[in-house]
Chain A
């Protein structure tokens, strides 16, 4: 028998879609970056005083009857406290007629927002992270609580990148949708978290740490602690060249916004070095690092051993091998003896 249930493999494989990547906290910060520039105080939280400066090379047209102000040509918005800034060709703001609140804002043309975020947790010193958002148009509407980025949307944070055509996010319901233009896919790219012994630097970030994801669209549902990638989902872990494909992948997060479970469904297939898996559905449990393949489950390992069943459970890491079938479900195993 050539089969060993514990095939050694030097690298971990498709185990990690790093938990922090699809974490809903990050996913939700992206769509509101631009509106944060103009609406730095979240709708539902206590207000803090801050100043935003707006300049433009041409004019500001203030319509007192409509409560609008339109800034034209090389518009720059800077949030004084953090230095976060936004640039665009045109910026329009609509206040309510009492002039107290901004109801609608639109940045149009060559929109670029640089968002500085300070974080201090426990004993760690103050850290400033920089995120850059570019797009053709960014809007925020207070009545509908809708923030929207559209046209060549590109989001870059220290450990995350997103390319899409449109990003809509409701700040009130905390639900959003990221879509691509016809014929294109939403592309995400992120980096695995490094251990504490490896302080993150640009030099240390190599190709091997990169994870790429493609999908027709991504849905974000923060109250449900859930994000959904759907339509020709492809996730590639560049560290070991493993990848999985599915029609849909649902990501569930715990209270710490770390990935708890992924449910991939619809023509699921996963290629890992020395292992090929297929099923109708696959459930990734990160606490136990196990994957359950459900419905026409099939695993081919090391080119000489095939397992098929209605359900198969296996470890995410190839080098930990296949666990088993289930008591009530027979497993069919085919081993090639050389």
Chain B
């Protein structure tokens, strides 16, 4: 009887741990660099690569890196020292700039995950700082679920996570706290 209870308890705990693991991995930005399976494939290494993405004739984004390791089988590219530009449909609008220490381009999902000292400079000059960020090329969104800091000339906003719609220019910050300098009102 006791053994049955232990087994049942063990199963429940196991299920919870599994759920927690799955939930966690699907929530946060995935760092493919840690994936051991990368070691099995020998990558193509590129120095100072530049990648461009087009929607028809429209250049939607351009990403540069110091180095890139391309894993063809996995359709993934690991980037080091990234800077990029995300272009608006409107030519008059300045591009959104993106900087990060490292990143992963997933060719299947069209997700670019960047991490480490991530900085975004929006077209209006507002800057966003965070540690992890995902660029969804299909949905044309930037998002994350970690803390962000948004800074502009007149104010500063801290938030728990963010989502930025590139097409519409709408930035959604969760549980925000802002400091606004009234001297510039």
Q: Which residues of A contact B (CB under 8 A)?
A: 39-41, 47-65, 71, 79, 99-102
Contact = CB atoms under 8 A, between A and B. Distances in A.
A56 B175 contact: yes
A101 B153 CA distance: 11
Interface in B156-185: 157, 159, 168-185
Contacts of B173: 59-62
A54 B150 CA distance: 14
Given A60-B157, A63-B170, A64-B171, A50 B176 contact: no
Contacts of A40: 182, 185
A55 B153 contact: no
Contact of A62 (B153, B170, B179): B170
Given A54-B176, A64-B124, A71-B176, A39 B171 contact: no
Contact of B152 (A50, A61, A71, A99): A99
A134 to B, nearest CB: 23
A65 B178 contact: no
B60 interface: no
B183 A99 contact: no
Nearest to A43: B185
Nearest to B159: A60
B174 A64 contact: no
B97 to A, nearest CB: 14
Given A58-B175, A62-B173, A71-B176, A102 B181 contact: no
Given A60-B176, A62-B170, A64-B123, A99 B185 contact: no
Given A59-B173, A64-B124, A54 B152 contact: no
* Residues of B contacting A: mostly: mixed
Contacts of A49: 181-183
A41 B182 CA distance: 7
B169 A52 contact: no
Nearest to A52: B180
Given A49-B181, A50-B183, A60-B159, A99 B124 contact: yes
Interface in B51-107: none
6 contacts: A51-B181, A52-B182, A54-B176, A57-B175, A59-B175, A64-B123
A316 to B, nearest CB: 46
Contacts of B178: 53-55, 60
A48 B178 CA distance: 19
A103 to B, nearest CB: 10
B48 interface: no
Interface string B2-38: 0000000000000000000000000000000000000
A53 B178 CA distance: 5
B170 A100 contact: no
B123 A53 contact: no
B154 interface: yes
Contacts of B183: 41, 47-50
A86 B177 CA distance: 14
B122 to A, nearest CB: 6
A64 B169 contact: yes
Nearest to B122: A64
Given A51-B182, A54-B180, A59 B174 contact: yes
A251 B172 CA distance: 50
B8 to A, nearest CB: 39
Contacts of B176: 54-56, 59-60, 71
A100 B171 CA distance: 18
Interface centre among B123, B175, B176 (most CB of A within 10 A): B176
Contacts of A60: 157, 159, 172-173, 176, 178
A56 B158 CA distance: 11
A58 B161 CA distance: 11
A304 B168 CA distance: 81
**Which of B159, B173, B181 counts the most A-chain CB atoms under 10 A from its CB?**
B173
A40 B153 CA distance: 18
Nearest to A50: B182
- Of the listed residues B171, B175, B185, the one surrounded by the most CB atoms of chain A closer than 10 A to its CB is B185
Contact of B169 (A48, A53, A57, A63): A63
